[in-house]
């Protein structure tokens, strides 16, 4: 069986993502300028050891049970190459359980590491990357923007997941408010939704999703109307009451505020940078608990993997 040489090392960088964006449930996603950065180095000893810095240090698995390592192993197995032993150093910036795509980022990190380590042995194209990530994540709305950056539309076909990347209008200014204490399980969030919705609600969301694409790539002044939703946020509101209350305050002040992914973080899609400062001020005045306010940009590159020199300066 083909093997990867001992001592091969790659550096991986993966952006945070925000999915749904209001009406685009399980379809739309946006990459953000907040990152997990990891270095993977092959070793002779089997298994894996992860040194975690930043988010998740002392909390997440640091052996082969890690989602990052499982994603790498899944990719090696799919392409029929023996999984090498790995030493990993992770510097994590993406909050966990807050609706910013941390699990998708971990999956993408492992897959991109496998891609880099398999350079010259197996070539993995964009379609293969998205397919492997979706197999593990279950749906492509977070992993597509994490892989490819920008605004992505993702959908499923009988042949597998597909995506279209779009470039966001330069006036769109993302703002994310992250609660310091509360977390949200994606599985719990999904369990709160009904199996079916009224016909008029479905039509409502189709119209807003179409409008949202236009607002994000061409007409940011339409973002408030374009981020209205009747498919998922109201059903999940009971599980994150302060998130819901703050979104209502923000929207009442003309800001395009939505739940980020499964929550409980809040995403504001500003039509100009100044709106982010207004949002931060409103949250400080209106919240009863601590929130971290992040003034972010759209990440246009997506995940990257490059050779890493083990002799590089730390």
Task: Write the CB contacts of 1 (distance below 8 Å, at least 6 apart in sequence).
Answer: 80, 81, 82
Name the residue with tokens 């509101």: 237
Is the pLDDT at 295 greater than 80, yes or no? yes
CATH 3.30.230.10, domain 9-166+299-307, yes or no: yes
Same CATH topology for 9-166+299-307 and 173-295: the answer is: no
pLDDT in tens, 4-28: 999 999 999 999 999 999 998 889 9
pLDDT of residue 202: 82
Distance CA 180, CA 188 (A): 19
Query: 173-295 has which fold?
Result: Alpha-Beta Plaits (3.30.70)
Distance CA 144, CA 127 (A): 10
Is the pLDDT at 221 greater than 70, yes or no? yes
Q: Is 100 annotated as a binding residue?
A: yes
**φ, ψ for residue 310 (rounded to 5)?**
-70, -10
pLDDT of residue 197: 73
* Residue 189's pLDDT band (cuts 50, 70, 90): low
Is the pLDDT at 312 greater than 80, yes or no? no
Kindly write down the DSSP assignment for every residue of 205-241, as one continuous string.
HHHHHHHHHHHHHT-GGGHHHHT--SSSHHHHGGG-H
pLDDT in tens, 68-111: 999 999 999 999 999 999 999 999 999 999 999 999 999 999 99
pLDDT of residue 23: 92
Q: Is 96 annotated as a binding residue?
A: yes
298 contacts 172 by C-beta, under 8 angstroms: yes
Task: Write the CB contacts of 192 (distance below 8 Å, at least 6 apart in sequence).
Answer: 235, 236, 238, 239
Is the pLDDT at 130 greater than 50, yes or no? yes
Locate the domains of the chain by residue range. Answer: 9-166+299-307, 173-295
Q: Is 103 annotated as a binding residue?
A: yes
* Residue 240's pLDDT band (cuts 50, 70, 90): confident
Q: Is 101 annotated as a binding residue?
A: yes
Is the pLDDT at 66 greater than 60, yes or no? yes
Question: Please, is 312 exposed, middle or buried when counting C-beta atoms within 10 Å of its C-beta (0-12, 13-18, 19+)?
Answer: exposed
The torsion angle over the Cα atoms of residues 217, 223, 226 and 227, rounded to 10 degrees, is 110
Name the residue with tokens 């470039």: 167
Residue 174's DSSP bridge partners are 269
Is the pLDDT at 313 greater than 50, yes or no? no
pLDDT of residue 233: 67
Q: Is 56 annotated as a binding residue?
A: no
């Amino acid at each position: 069986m083909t093997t990867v040489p001992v001592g091969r090392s790659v550096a991986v960088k993966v952006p945070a993502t925000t999915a749904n964006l209001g009406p685009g449930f399980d379809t739309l996603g946006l990459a953000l300028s907040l990152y997990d950065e990891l270095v993977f180095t092959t070793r002779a000893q089997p298994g894996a050891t992860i040194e975690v810095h930043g988010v998740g240090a002392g909390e997440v698995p640091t052996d082969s049970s890690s989602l990052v390592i499982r994603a790498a192993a899944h990719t090696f197995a799919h392409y029929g190459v023996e999984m090498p032993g790995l030493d990993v150093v992770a510097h994590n910036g993406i909050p966990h359980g807050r609706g910013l795509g941390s699990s998708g980022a971990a999956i993408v990190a492992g897959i991109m590491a496998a891609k880099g380590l398999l350079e010259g042995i197996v070539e993995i194209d964009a379609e293969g990357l998205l397919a492997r990530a979706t197999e593990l994540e279950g749906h492509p709305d977070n992993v597509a923007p994490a892989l490819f950056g920008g605004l992505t539309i993702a959908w499923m076909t009988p042949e597998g997941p597909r995506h279209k990347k779009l470039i966001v209008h330069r006036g769109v200014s993302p703002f994310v408010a992250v609660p310091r204490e509360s977390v949200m399980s994606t599985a719990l969030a999904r369990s709160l939704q009904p199996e079916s919705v009224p016909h008029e609600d479905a039509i409502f969301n189709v119209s807003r999703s179409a409008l949202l694409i236009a607002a994000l790539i061409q007409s940011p002044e339409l973002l408030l109307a374009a981020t209205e939703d009747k498919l998922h946020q109201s059903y999940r509101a009971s599980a994150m009451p302060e998130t819901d209350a703050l979104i209502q305050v923000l929207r009442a002040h003309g800001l395009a505020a939505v739940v980020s992914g499964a929550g409980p973080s809040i995403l504001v899609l500003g039509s100009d940078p100044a709106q982010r400062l207004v949002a931060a001020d409103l949250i400080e005045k209106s919240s009863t608990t601590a929130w971290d306010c992040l003034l972010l940009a759209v990440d246009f590159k997506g995940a990257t993997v490059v050779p890493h020199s083990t002799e590089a300066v730390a």
